[in-house]
Amino acid sequence: MFSLTHLNTFGLKADASHFFALANEQQLPELLSLVQQYPHYFILGGGSNVVLSSHIEALIIHNQLKGIRLLQEEESFFLVEAAAGEVWHEFVRYCLEQGWNGLENLAYIPGTVGASPVQNIGAYGKEMKNYFHSLTAINVYTGEQKEFSLAECHFAYRDSVFKHEAKDYLILRVRFAFPKNWKPSLNYADLKNFGGLSEHSSAMDIFNAVVQIRQQKLPDPKVWGNAGSFFKNPIVSSANYQTLLQQFPALVAYPQENGEYKLAAGWLIDQCGWKGRALGAAGVHDRQALVLVNRGGAMAEDILTLAKAIQHDVQERYGVLIEPEPIFVK
């Protein structure tokens, strides 16, 4: 048995029957051979978007691939490649230090570079796909290495092809195109209201502001185990939004390009009275209703029970289903 307790930010007590640390691509033949021997596998990155069961009867592949390099510099952009095991936040910081701007709004998001396309991570008005160029991945069953373009990744809100038909591909390297004519993106309310930011702010100024905002809102996993924002913001039709708005005039929502509306899940949860409440060892953070926390000794079952209770109350009051972001690994 291999303990996974230190490899998930929820701090859930968990172990796995089999474990493989992928530190370099020379290990891939050995890994592919192992995958054939076990009925189930799961690719683990930073452990920040998972709810792990107490015992997992599967091969856990821990992606530890490292390396960042400038592939080419064109007239209008820099093309940068990062190995999948790089820590996302450190990668963002490194890029800004080199003058490769663009990811500053996505600072302080936990996890790895390899996980970022799977989830199409986003925050403060930007998504990873805005700067994504391509990636290299390997099918863990066939050994086929494939290059995925932006179009082939089928990015959507917290979604990609790697959650569906390409779920058996292990991401090895991800490439980003950073524009030289960079402009700050400060449309999101938290950034608009942050003192000192303007259209003349540098990317590093925005990076520092985002870190400060997120630190104020989100608990430190070392103090309160958590997986960041636990629920996705639900998207509803314009007609549904108008109906809800008539019933709840203070409803917080964001118009989408296709005419739909993204509702603020945190607001919905807060209005249902869950902020700061707990069910046993699992609770809702007292400053951010989107964040579920391990109050000490929580197991996956505790998190699931709390999540279902919150989902029930939100659906009862608003008729909207809020879906978890983290993956439940059994």
Name the residues annotated as catalytic.
Answer: 158, 229, 325
Name the CA dihedral angle for 150, 151, 152, 158, rounded to a multiple of 10 degrees. 70
CB crowding 40-74: b at 16 or more within 10 Å, else e: ebbbbbbbbbbbbbeebebbbbbbbbeebeeeeee
CB atoms within 10 A of CB 97: 10
For tokens 């089928």, what's the residue? 154
φ and ψ of 136, to 5 deg: -115, 130
Please list the residues that pair with 176 across neighbouring strands: 80, 132
**Residues 60 and 84: beta-carbon distance below 8 Å:** no
| Spatial separation of the C-alpha atoms in residues 157 and 263, rounded to whole Å | 13
| Spatial separation of the C-alpha atoms in residues 38 and 16, rounded to whole Å | 12
**Residues 102 and 178: beta-carbon distance below 8 Å:** yes
Q: Hey, CA dihedral for 37, 38, 41, 44, is it positive or negative? A: negative
Count the helix, strand and coil residues of the chain and give each as a percent rounded to the nearest 5: 30, 30, 40
Name the CA dihedral angle for 267, 201, 208, 172, rounded to a multiple of 10 degrees. 90
| Spatial separation of the C-alpha atoms in residues 124 and 217, rounded to whole Å | 13
First to last CA, the chain: 15
Return the closest-CA partner of residue 73 out of 220, 180, 188, 208. 180
